[in-house]
Amino acid sequence: MEAAYVFRVAVRLDPADAAVDPGRFETTMELPASDPGADGWLFFRDRLWRGEVGDEPSFRRLAVERLGLADAASVEVAAADFRELRTDEAYRDALTDAIAADLGRFNADSVDEVLRKYLGSSVHVRE
């Protein structure tokens, strides 16, 4: 089972002692998705809403941490956008089973409603 949350992240460089061009660039960041039912598996519920980052300033701080930029002076994550949950069929099945087992946690009537509510149409199953 494999899955990752994929984000587009804009990084801004503003060094005090040099000029840079470009001063801003975009990169792709993948965060491994926890196995359904394991610690951290509710990342999509806690961080995403209809396929968008729910609290961007908070998520930018998380991106800084995960990218190892916390101690990098004059470097900031300027923006972050959710792109997709990239997954294989086994992970998708396990995810839908875990959601179905506790729909009340998501205040929804179906697994499809949960997936739309949090991930929009951004679930991509790959072999």
Taking only the tens place, the pLDDT of each residue in 25-60 is 999 999 999 999 999 999 999 999 998 998 999 999
Alpha-helical segments (H) within the chain: 43-47, 56-66, 89-100, 111-119
C-alpha span between 83 and 100 (Å, rounded): 24
Taking only the tens place, the pLDDT of each residue in 58-115 is 999 999 999 999 998 899 999 999 999 999 999 999 999 999 999 999 999 999 999 9
pLDDT for position 1: 87
DSSP 106: G
pLDDT for position 127: 80
With H, G, I as helix, E, B as strand and everything else as coil, classify residue 16.
coil
Amino acid identity of residue 44, one-letter, is F
The domain spans of the chain are: 3-119
C-alpha span between 40 and 44 (Å, rounded): 9
